[in-house]
Structure 1
Amino acid sequence: MSKATPSLLVQGYEVVIGFETHTQLSTQSKIFSRASTAFGAEPNTQACAVDLALPGTLPVMNKGAVERAIQLGLALGSHIAPRSVFARKNYFYPDLPKGYQISQFEIPVVQGGSVEFFLGDEKKSVRLVRAHLEEDAGKSLHEDFIGQTGIDLNRAGTPLLEIVTEPDMRSSAEAVAYAKELHKIVTWIGICDGNMQEGSFRCDANVSVRKPGGPLGTRREIKNLNSFKFMQQAIDYEVRWQIEQIEDGLEIQQATVLFNPDTGETRAMRTKEDAADYRYFPDPDLPPLVVAPEWVERVRSEMAELPRVMAARFAEDYGLSEYDASALTQSKEIARYFEAAIAASAPPKLAANWIMGELARRLNTQDLGIEQAPLPAEKLAQILARIADNTISNNAAKQVFDALWTDTEAQVDTVIEAKGLKQMNDTGALEAIVDTVIAANAKNVAEFKAGNEKALNALVGQIMKASAGKANPGQVNALLKAKLAAA
């Protein structure tokens, strides 16, 4: 599968992508009943009479689900509707026990807002249409080896917040970056555990293509993308497929499609319905949901610092770029590690570079979260302090880092001494080495004076070699340039 195309055009076509994300809310009970939402129970052991809509039962709104919707709205700068309405979305499917799904249609609880993120070092923003509360359906279990399908209704009634965007994304890379940012936000504020394998965070991508400046093309909806890797592969395949169809003179039919990770292809599941096909009407068993301003303000006061607010604080307090500040707030754990390093007197920019660079690479290599890092933030701060005071070079610091990563009891200064990593700070000794290298490399000296900057790098390399790597690179450059200018 090809990588995402970074430009707006693919084979002369503009890609248009919108997202619908089903976020399972972190309540212990379902949205309209007291049945458990715990994952992994035996089939059909967590579906009560209300979930099944048995005669005589009535749904009762879960207050915790509403509060989580308010939290998301506050996090994304959305409007919290003071009055919203629940509707019945009518369709037939074996795992939908009521024959309809309780959702919101005309007046959702969360309206508007946006998600901001970086694609590389470019800042992007995706507008939201809405986020509405609804219940999940059950699950069909296909037992191919016996040729039968079973129905598990444990998920029926599980609370969802469906987050719908405008069609603002123009590449699979941008779509994945948006999804990752949204995933970060819902897990950060604690309204969803974000477990994609268990179905807690499921994305549907609406994909179409058009000629630049033309009307929007016919979209096809890729359902239930449960990994960022498959998300990008599915969108890339779908874009290529649609372009091929159009180039062959065929029309795109609106449809719901599934992605097969084994073949890397999408396939049509059913013709895509429009809103009118669902025959929405207000649910007669549920009154309008009223959210008073006092409720919104109470939820706001109880929320932790949001990632975008924390990123702005990092940029202002520590002089970091907007990109660096955003990267350090990708998770609470990364942000905590950075702040712990700063509290231990690490230079902020140096700490940011090392956390996003050397530390991130090591964690990725070993598939570890930052909370599992064997090197605590306080020891990283000690390493960085030795770089800042010119005790060791950046390259020597990586050797200290490696030693402390594998030996958690080791001490920074002890490792520096044992490995002989201290920089040469004796100006007289360094000056003698510089003089020797200049005298032995007349050709490089001449080339540098003739304007060849690369010749200077060659001289610096010779000096570093002569000093066994212990010379201070900054001091070497300054001293070398001064002597060459005077020569």
Structure 2
Amino acid sequence: ELKNMNSFRNVQAALEFEVRRQRDLLLEKDKVIQQTLLWNPDTGKTEPMRGKEDAHDYRYFPCPDLIPVEIDEQWIEEIREGLPELPDQKRQRFIDEFSLPDYDAIILTESKELADYFEAAVEVCPQPKKVSNWMMTELLRELKGAEIDQCLVLPNQLGSLLNMVEEGIISGKIAKTVFNDMLESGKDPEQIVKDKNLVQVSDESELLALVREIIEQNPTQAEEFRGGKTKVMGFFIGQLMQKTKGKANPKLANQLFNQELSG
């Protein structure tokens, strides 16, 4: 027991001194005496004040009004079984059941509400990693430290939005635009996409006509691509996105440009 601890610096210095002192005693096979010590900041050492050997030195005595308590093992098990899923258990389950990386599981189980949101979204969009990515980037960034229950986007709405991307109804880029609208309005993604005519253009004949037009208008870039400068593809995709206001199916667009430029 250390006395005269009037600053954090003194606490640190006294503890470090005692670690060294007691270590040296043990190395010399001496006994560490149980006692109250005074810290002397001038000498940088502890000094004995009084010995404390047994409980009676502290005037301990049993309270006559407190009867012995015996806890039944069966009762302990009943209490244990009635406990909710604890954070560490939930974290491990997310790793095992959803194949999430440790980092994702740690973030998503920081609160029960966040974990519940994730599981509800996965029920709608059964792609845990994709849901996790959106929650940890788009959702948590927009919340800016606010609680998840303050978010206007419900978990089933987030799941529906991700399903629309997976089904090719909207692109990933458009999904972010829709998501921002959802954050402000709380509307369903399907309604926003319909109201703003954001459905992805996946009609091959429509895109093919635009692809041919863009190639014809940019012969220099077309020759560069044919000459091996594949990075020029980004330029062509950008031109197509401008013409379709970002609604062209990027996968189909890449396929059509490669087809036409290789022909």
Q: Do the structures match in fold with TM over 0.5?
A: yes
Alignment partner, residue 337 of structure 1? 117
The letter of the residue matching 1:390 is: G
- Asked whether the 8 Å contact 2:5–2:11 carries over to 1, the reply is no
For residues 109 and 53 of structure 2, the distance between their equivalents in structure 1, rounded to whole angstroms, comes to: 40
Q: Which residue of 2 aligns with 1:433?
A: 210
Aligned Cα root-mean-square deviation (Å): 3.3
Conserved? CA contact 1:90–1:280, under 8 Å: no
How many Å apart are 1:280 and its aligned residue? 7.9
Higher RCO (C-alpha under 8 Å, 6+ residues apart): 1
Asked if 1:377 is matched to 2:155, the reply is yes
User: Is contact 1:387–1:393 with CA below 8 Å preserved after alignment?
Assistant: yes
Indicate conservation of the 8 Å contact 1:311/1:325, yes or no.
yes
Partner of 1:245: none
Residue segments in structure 1 that go unaligned for 5+ positions in a row: 1-88, 95-254, 258-267
Identity of aligned residues (%): 29
Among candidates 122, 136, 152, match of residue 356 of structure 1: 136
Mapping for residues 79-478 of structure 1, pairs under 5 Å: 89=1, 91=3, 256-257=8-9, 271-273=13-15, 274=18, 282=55, 284-285=60-61, 297-298=77-78, 300-345=80-125, 347-364=127-144, 367-408=145-186, 410-478=187-255
Question: In 2, Cα distance between the equivalents of 1:280 and 1:290?
Answer: 30
Report the structure, 1 or 2, having the larger helix content: 2
* AA in 1 matched with 2:155: A
Unaligned runs of 5+ in 2: 20-34, 38-51, 64-68
93 and 377 in structure 1: CA distance in 2 versus 1, 3 angstrom threshold: same
- Structure having the higher Rg: 2
C-alpha deviation, 1:346, in angstroms: 5.3
Q: TM-score of the superposition, structure 1-length normalised?
A: 0.41
Q: 1:319 to 1:306 in 2, by over 3 A?
A: same
Name the SS of the counterpart of 2:131 in structure 1: helix
Alpha-carbon deviation of 1:270?
7.1
1:422: Cα distance to partner?
0.8
In structure 2, distance between residues paired with 1:290 and 1:482 = 80
- Seen in structure 2, the aligned counterparts of structure 1 residues 331 and 440 have a Cα distance that, compared at 3 Å, is same
Q: 1:423 to 1:297 in 2, by over 3 A?
A: same
**What is the TM-score with the length of structure 2 in the denominator?**
0.71
How far apart are the structure 1 equivalents of 2:203 and 2:134?
Answer: 28
2:66 corresponds to: none
Q: Per the alignment, do residues 422 and 297 of structure 1 end up closer, same or farther by CA in structure 2, a change over 3 Å counting?
A: same
